[in-house]
Structure 1
């Protein structure tokens, strides 16, 4: 990043990225901020924001100038106490970030995914067979939520009892990255209960002897990480490994239910399953926003940002920036979606993204084998979250063939 130059006037706006109207449909707000300028000032929160692809990507990649250790939400950990011990992956920078990242990347590496592939494809086929006994169903609850909650906790090695706690815990976590609004308050009554349950699942004595969790504890035994770090890394898996995949799967199912010609193309070219998932992540951006904090006086997009100031990066807006993408509002399997920032970018890019891709590939492959046509069967409903673009209900009708 360039050093700070002379102060300039930048666009100011009172738009609220976290109000119910925006969470229901963020696209008008995103377009407004993109067109206002490379960086804008959000008067409501006294912070900077960037909605253009070039600046979002630049800030994500420059961890030296825009740190994560002060929190990836609106709260600034320099001055405010976080509600839980910070994540060693999301909320840490080098050198503290390096060893946990290396261990988790190795744990979720190609060999582990190859070993899971056959079982996950079989599980997906079994689930699809069960769901398709009826021709109308809710794609959120019966597929997008059911499949990750079926296979991912097994892979981590946590017991089956209590897995229903993962989604409300993750919902609070991602809400907490925004302002302390009504969404945060709605989740607070169960926070102690949910946090205690999640922390308990991270203990070595609770985890199965095989699986991602055991592999992380084994890394502690080898000295790759400390034994104090091990449960926090397992917690990172449970915190971020379910919700984002759930809403990514919902996004791709919604995309196909509203783009029948693209579904036909996938059936003809099933090898496009992974492209379809990434294009849906670009198009819908299940993770809409993340924050960074300037470590020094720095310039971004021609705007001076002072040391210690927060900047909001609108990932969803960047993923539809016409400066980067042709026809960005179109879901298109002909597109190369690589380079989208839906999984972040740089050293903090989502370490579990290949796990999510494998889950999506398994589920889409199973559906493509049996479903000739998929369409909406009623009104869809969004689930509001300060960080996620999520679905509550996605009723669909399928025609088998």
Structure 2
């Protein structure tokens, strides 16, 4: 029987949420499977095992929750994130309808116009805070409008989303504090985000229209709002902020991008690989299963460490280097398989629009101050103050 290494590492400590990469490296060195004694679960820290698990939903089930705390997992069973086919397939089909690439083409002109406006404004300022003045703009103007919630709900979306992500951690601390905020959102989703109070042609309204057609149960509509409030906001905001931070710290890569805009898709992938906004989810084994040569029993909860896998030296040469010519389209930041991120096309569209315009206007970024985000389910930057050197002329496309 292969030995399963054990670690008492606390992945939810403040220091680990700020910078987990040394911990991830130690876990990868220990083996393909590591028992995390603090949480009573197993972790997969390496790329190959995480990717294989994501592609095998029958064995690595989401139906019993994908977080850490048993009570939270029990309460969330049945939402899109915490379900398996065929239930998951039906919900995902409804959620993904307005997020298909062909529907994104309809949104593209509006995103482009908003990107023009915000980039002109922040570059003209010379110094700005990236999260609040740049990265939040498209999600909070375009996306919140597309979801179609009442105005008082839109004002709380970021607070609600952050709390929902915080419930991913252990029951004490940040997760406990997030509980009442999540309950506030669920009350809003049940009583206020309903037909007659939401934009008739918005994404939220389309959930109820699908329920009227019998595609999903009506009772699923309020909890499915989670899928529009959380993935469409924080993750994209973090991805945009992380990208600016990386380019500020690697001006040679910014010069490459300004000279060759065809590198933008690869730059997005590389920034997501190196700084993954959602570092992990968990799964439960439906049967006895061998992972990396290690046998695990049915019922075991397994944490899939996406952010660690994306820096696995077994898969990516020199994995800590930011290299926009790497072309890592196989990164796991959006997940894989049945639960691949339903909003990834929208996120790419927003990031592309901003990077194109920043490349026209900015010769160089300089970081003045940066603070990490401390959240149980997210990782990135909470505050990024930068100065910009305006480009003397439009860069060559």
TM-score, structure 1 length as denominator?
A: 0.92
Q: Pick from 41, 57, 64: which aligns with 2:51?
A: 57
The one of 324, 348, 352 equivalent to 1:357 is: 348
Greater shift, 243-252 or 225-234, is seen at 225-234
Does structure 2 conserve the Cα–Cα contact (< 8 Å) formed by 1:260 and 1:375? no
CA 213–383 in structure 1, closer or farther in 2 if over 3 Å, else same: same
Correspondences of 1:117-196 after superposition (within 5 Å): 117-196=108-187
Distance change (3 Å), C-alpha of 1:81 and 1:170: closer
CA distance in 1, matches of 2:272, 2:386: 20
What is the alpha-carbon distance in structure 2 between the residues aligned to residue 31 and residue 59 of structure 1?
20
Q: Counterparts of 2:344 and 2:267 in 1: how far apart (Å)?
A: 14
* Corresponding residue number in structure 1 for 2:64: 70
Q: Contact conserved, 2:56 with 2:337, CA < 8 A, in 1?
A: yes
CA separation of 1:359 and 1:198: change in aligned 2, threshold 3 A:
farther
Comparing 22-31 with 149-158, which one deviates more in the overlay? 149-158
Structure 1 position 388, deviation (Å): 0.9
> Gaps (5+ residues) in structure 1?
1-6
| Cα RMSD after superposing both structures | 1.8
Q: Which blocks of at least 5 consecutive residues in structure 2 are unaligned?
A: 392-397
Show the counterpart of 1:393.
Answer: 383
Return the offset for 1:233.
Answer: 2.7
Q: CA contact under 8 A between 2:189 and 2:223: conserved in structure 1? A: no
Indicate the residue corresponding to 2:226 in structure 1.
235
SS at match of 2:373: strand
**How far 1:206 moved relative to its partner?**
2.3
Q: Is contact 2:280-2:304 (8 Å) kept? A: yes
Of 14, 24, 32, the match for 1:30:
24
Q: Which moved more, 1:116-125 or 1:216-225?
A: 216-225
Q: TM-score, normalised by structure 2?
A: 0.93
Deviation at 1:189, TM superposition (A): 4.5
Corresponding residue for 1:290? 281
Aligned residues: 391
Q: In the TM superposition, what is the alpha-carbon distance from 1:128 to its structure 2 partner?
A: 1.6
Q: Give the secondary-structure state (helix, strand or coil) at the position aligned to 1:380.
A: strand
Match of 2:6 in 1: 12
Q: Does the CA-based 8 Å contact 1:68-1:293 persist in structure 2?
A: yes
Map of 2:337 onto structure 1: 346
Q: Is residue 38 of structure 2 the alignment partner of residue 44 of structure 1?
A: yes
